[in-house]
Structure 1
Amino acid sequence: MTQLSINTTQNVNINFTAASIGDRILAYLLDFLVKTAYVIVIYSVFFYGLGINKLMDKMDDWSRISILVLFYMPVAFYSLLLESLLEGQTLGKRLLKIKVVKIDGYQASFGDYLMRWLFRIIDVSFSSGIVGLVSIIASEKSQRLGDMAGGTSVITLKNNININHTILEEIDVSYVPTYPLVIKLSDNDARIIKETFNSARANKDYHMITRLKTKIEDVTGIRNQSGNDEDFIKTILKDYNYYTQKM
């Protein structure tokens, strides 16, 4: 399998394993089955069971088209909605334990998923998947065109250490958090922060610590209240653990 070495904005290299083509195809087929099941249920229950098809016979063409678009819209937007709601996974991807991630190590945004969805027309729909398959094989990071446009790739989560294990810290029961906005961070963000911080401290790279502090402020909107960059980052990590362990 292809190994993805992702260099984050904090200059930390993180190694992921790209999802295999087989897993991606199987996830696609599972998602196709889900969408097919939805269509069958809608057709059987609403159109025949509730007699909507008979009502549509009395409608004009535009009204019929509007109803069909309304009912089948979830099929068209399936991957966009699910990847946005499930943080890079559809039902098929979740079953196959693969996930869409940003190649800079951060959590993909709705805009990234939207770009993947738009290019799906070229990658999959118009070319029967040939364009997507060729681009995945040919690209260095196993990306289809939609991934290249969105700055994403698909990785496997199989046999990986749970990311929570790498960021877990002991929090005293009496601990009072300082920065509630820390919940804007993802587990992956917290891991990158912790690894970068520990590396910078070990190398006495105070410039990197300052850059890391600035990046945290930019991403979360939090402002350093301690006056000390190291104390600020330590508090961020403790607060993140506090809120995520309470959830």
Structure 2
Amino acid sequence: MKIRRAIAYFIDWYLITFLMNLLLVAADYMQTGEMTTNVMPITRFQAGEQVLLLIILFFLQILYFCVIPKYLLKGQTLGKKLTKIKVVNKDGSEVSFLNLWKRDILGMIVIEGCFMPLSNYIRNVLMLVIGRSFTQYFIYFSFAAGFVSIAFLLFDRKGRMLHDFIGSTKVVVV
């Protein structure tokens, strides 16, 4: 199960990173008329554009990790579907949208943010607003929380991670 979770995570991480970067590349192309094939930093855009793009990326994150699993794939992202696992409520019932929201947005983005691309974009924009030194504390906290979450996965007998506890969820084999 732990290996399946890791594989599903990497599939989902790759897909969401690709989609978010594709959106930023398209936005840059619309501005400059030049196509780039590199990873596009959000800091390439003006401050107001960064905020707008961040909002769009946030909705993409919600779509992929909350809406699709709740309303289309019954607790699964594409990575989870391929690895035959799914997210359910802690009691084993079908996962609720609110629990997916808490799990993925609050747990994975805000608290364990070191491992998610949206968190990186948020930190880059925050750095421009509140400065690099203060943003460093968010980075340290998210890395610590991320490693605590991995420790939970490895040492908790049920294999729940920090974001599972936050969202009152668990991952089960389909």
**TM-score, structure 1 length as denominator?**
0.46
**1:51/1:97 CA distance change after superposition, 3 Å:** same
1:10-25 to 2 correspondence within 5 Å? 20-25=1-6
Retained in 2: the 8 A contact 1:27–1:96?
A: yes
Which protein is richer in helix relative to its size? 2
2:61 is the counterpart of 1:81: no
Count of equivalent residues: 132
Tell me: higher relative CO, structure 1 or 2? Use CA pairs within 8 A at least 6 residues apart.
2
Taking every aligned residue pair, what percent have the same amino acid on both sides?
A: 27
**Letter of the structure 1 residue corresponding to residue 143 of structure 2:** S
2:86 to 83, 94, 99: 99
The 8 Å contact of residues 75 and 95 in structure 2, kept in 1 or not, is answered as: yes
For residue 90 of structure 1, report the CA deviation from its aligned partner: 0.9
Q: Is the 8 A contact 2:107 2:167 kept in 1?
A: no
Q: What is the correspondence of 1:1-247 to structure 2 with a 5 Å cutoff?
A: 20-48=1-29, 50-51=30-31, 61-77=46-62, 78-85=64-71, 86-117=73-104, 118-120=106-108, 121-123=110-112, 125=114, 126-127=142-143, 129-157=146-174
Q: Return the alpha-carbon distance in structure 2 between the equivalents of residues 52 and 135 of structure 1.
A: 46
Question: Which consecutive residues of structure 1, in runs of 5 or more, have no partner in the other structure?
Answer: 1-19, 55-59, 158-247
**SS state of the match for residue 102, structure 2?**
helix
Could you tell me how far apart the structure 2 residues matched to 1:97 and 1:124 are? 25
User: In the TM superposition, what whole-angstrom CA distance separates every residue of 1:101-141 from its partner, at most 9, and x where no partner exists?
Assistant: 12323211112112212122334531274222111223232
SS of equivalent residue, structure 1 residue 51: helix
Q: Any unmatched runs of 5+ in structure 2? A: 35-44, 115-141
Structure 1 position 143, deviation (Å) = 0.9
| Inter-partner Cα distance in structure 2 for 1:39 and 1:152 | 26
